[in-house]
Amino acid sequence: MAQKKKALAGVLGQRQLADGIFDLRLKTELAGEAHCGQFVGVYPKDKSTLLPRPISICETDAKEGTLRLVYRVAGKGTAEFSGLKEGDAVEILGILGNGFPVEAARPGMRAVLMGGGIGVPPILQLAKELDCDKTVVVGYRDSQCFLREDFEKYAKTVIATEDGSVGTKGNVMDALKASGIEPDILYACGPMPMLKAIRSYALEKGILAYISLEERMACGVGACLGCVCKTTAVDHHSHVHNARICTDGPVFEAREVEI
């Protein structure tokens, strides 16, 4: 992984996609180093909020030097970001974390990419990078199915909504079962209850699964140990059953972690 560094990114534009969901496009030299499943730290200008906010990469274009960040306003820092407009500049730290291993999905395999809530955006770049038979299964609360049209450009897309307004009523596992699709490999990002269900399904079926863990982070570079998860194997540095989501992850093979 490339050396982490700070960079000043130019804002190319921003729009709101759904209630509390914003689509921020940045021009930055770091775009060439980014891959699906990784993230950047975005620094608020408000000095009372010292730490960068981790935001997953939705899309990256190395040729154009652009990053697309789709995020939810969850507090003071992200509320500040939602006011950014074309011509503004924002400091970012990147590229952070270990992303999805696209090489694990070999030609001839059927991959299912699952996203829920704010775990939906990282799945888009993954859909672009995977070169195999693929289906996207994404879950939303209601009919505000942000990024749906983007997904449909790259893969068959199956929708689940909690209120039943679009697609299957229920969650992504309900939608997967209703679709009748039998995956050879799973990739997923979303809230912990969703990832637990996907992990159980993968273990039951004997399917390789890679899950991206969502967690509150402080430093984002592994120094503070604020985002530790339990692992099945002993870490060779600390000699305990722990891993840091920000640096060892956020993507793990499902059998590697206890969730």
CATH classification at residue 23: 2.40.30.10
Show which of 59, 78, 96 is a domain's final residue.
96
Show which of 71, 96, 121 is a domain's final residue.
96
Exposed, middle or buried by CB within 10 Å (0-12, 13-18, 19+), for 172? buried
112 and 188 housed in the same domain: yes
In a domain, 251, yes or no: no
CATH code for the domain in which residue 129 is found? 3.40.50.80
For residue 211, give both structure tokens: 């899950």
Range of the domain at 37: 5-96
In a domain, 226, yes or no: no
- 259 residues of the chain, pLDDT tens digit each: 455 899 999 999 999 999 999 999 999 999 999 999 999 999 999 877 778 899 999 999 999 999 999 999 999 999 999 999 999 999 999 999 999 999 999 989 999 999 999 999 999 999 999 999 999 999 999 999 999 999 999 999 999 999 999 999 999 999 999 999 999 999 999 999 999 999 999 999 999 999 998 655 444 454 454 555 556 555 555 555 455 555 665 899 988 887 7
110 and 91 housed in the same domain: no
Indicate the number of domains in the chain. 2
Scanning the structure block, which residue is given the tokens 């339990």?
230
Q: According to the model, what pLDDT value does residue 49 have?
A: 73
SS3 22: strand
124 and 202 housed in the same domain: yes
Show which of 96, 111, 127 is a domain's final residue.
96
In a domain, 256, yes or no: no
Q: According to the model, what pLDDT value does residue 242 have?
A: 58
| Average pLDDT across the chain, whole number | 89
In a domain, 168, yes or no: yes
In a domain, 232, yes or no: no
Q: According to the model, what pLDDT value does residue 1 have?
A: 45
Task: Compute CA distances 75 → 81, 90, 122, 144, whole Å.
Answer: 10, 17, 20, 21
Tens digits of residue pLDDT in 79-125: 999 999 999 999 999 999 999 999 999 989 999 999 999 999 999 99
SS (H, E, C) 109-148: CEEEEEEEHHHCCHHHHHHHHCCCEEEEEEEECCCCCCCH
210 and 106 housed in the same domain: yes
57 and 138 housed in the same domain: no
In a domain, 138, yes or no: yes
200 and 114 housed in the same domain: yes
Q: According to the model, what pLDDT value does residue 249 have?
A: 59
In a domain, 88, yes or no: yes
121 and 28 housed in the same domain: no
